[in-house]
Amino acid sequence: MAIALSVTQSAVFLILSQGAQHKKGGAMLANQKHKAAGQSIFMSSVTGLANTLAVVTTFIGAPPLYGRTVGWVQGFTANNYGSGFEDITAFTWGVVCACLVFFISRASISTALVMGGLALATRIF
């Protein structure tokens, strides 16, 4: 009888402890979901800010890049591919300059924002 009672108590304890672990796991899962949602909001904000700042940088930086290089690119094209392509070369080079400035600035800005956020987080926490 004592052995059966001990086995029953052990079984009840085991069931209760598994239930407590299950509840802890559920709380941990909810905490992980909350943390992931916070990280998702942070990363989408960083992406939005980086895109906005990259557009501003492109608006300011692409025209000087284009103005300083379009003559050389048109001359290169005329020397190597023949004359008559100057207009299409100028247009294409304008698009290339805008894309270069935009994507390089977006990559740089988003990297700087993420690293700045991590540095701030390590100082605070």
pLDDT in tens, 39-97: 677 788 888 999 999 999 999 999 999 999 999 999 999 999 999 999 999 999 999 99
Kindly report the pTM of this predicted structure: 0.66
Is the pLDDT confidence value at 34 over 60? yes
Longest dimension (CA), the chain: 105
pLDDT value of residue 25: 52
Is pLDDT larger for residue 34 or for residue 21? Answer: 34
Tell me the average pLDDT of the chain. Answer: 79
pLDDT value of residue 99: 98
Asked if 88 and 61 count as a contact pair (C-beta separation under 8 A), the reply is no
